Amino acid sequence: MAYYSGLRLIDGSNLKWSDVDLSAAFFSFIPEKTKFSALRQHEEPQPLIVPIHSALLPYLLELPGSDDPEAYLFPSLAGRQSSGRSGLSYEFIKIMEDKAGIDGGASIKGRSDTDTKGGRDKARSRRTRSFHSLRRTNVTEFRKAGVDLETRQKIVGHADKSMTLKYTDDALEKLRLEVEKLPPLPMQSK
């Protein structure tokens, strides 16, 4: 689901049936990051509308449904913490490593997304391969398919284009190829 939708783990695990329109094939929900950002700025959070990929629709149609629109799509995941040793992200890494034999990659330290804006002012560590890697892959594959930056930004709900560019893993390679289109200067004879 993360590959096709680009949803964050916390948002995907807390989707309710009221957030899904299967006939029109889209999700409409307020991402957790958007809720907190709007709260800090005393604004009304705006919903993110994400079209459902045609390959994801059959999976969603087969999920056990509910007559209650406030029921969760994934009840066993809903309401759970996503980070930390007992969080969903760590569980995902363990499944990747133990069941699928995929190395979760090294744990790297980095700055928090918000530490320069007066938010969490601390470094946090993350794995080089995790559930969030699927979100990065989503953005990268859209770029490879020729989807423009603004559209990619809207699909994943980034407020800032610079974040979308960070998520496009091969952006530097594309720039390198574009730079090579500049013709060389003519050689001067001595």
Whether the full predicted model's pTM is greater than 0.85, yes or no, is no
**Domain assignment present for 131:** no
**Domain assignment present for 86:** no
Only one residue has tokens 């893993």, namely 169
Both tokens of 73, joined, read 């799509």
- In one-letter notation, the amino acid at residue 19 is D
**Domain assignment present for 85:** no
Alpha carbon distance 173, 96 (integer Å): 28
Alpha carbon distance 78, 167 (integer Å): 26
Domain count, the chain: 1
**Domain assignment present for 21:** yes
**1: domain range?**
1-79
**Domain assignment present for 105:** no
N- to C-terminal Cα separation, the chain: 63
**Domain assignment present for 11:** yes
DSSP 53: P
**Domain assignment present for 159:** no
- Predicted confidence at residue 62, as pLDDT, reads 95
Q: Residue 124 contacts by C-beta under 8 Å, 6 or more apart in sequence?
A: 109, 110, 111, 112
Q: Is 123 helix (H, G, I), strand (E, B) or coil?
A: strand
Q: What tens-digit pLDDT sequence spans the chain (190 residues)?
A: 888 999 999 999 999 999 999 999 999 999 998 888 878 888 888 888 999 999 999 999 999 988 999 999 999 999 999 888 888 988 888 888 888 888 877 666 655 444 444 454 455 556 667 888 888 888 888 888 888 888 888 888 888 888 777 776 555 566 667 777 777 777 766 6
**Domain assignment present for 46:** yes
DSSP 78: T
Q: Is 38 helix (H, G, I), strand (E, B) or coil?
A: helix
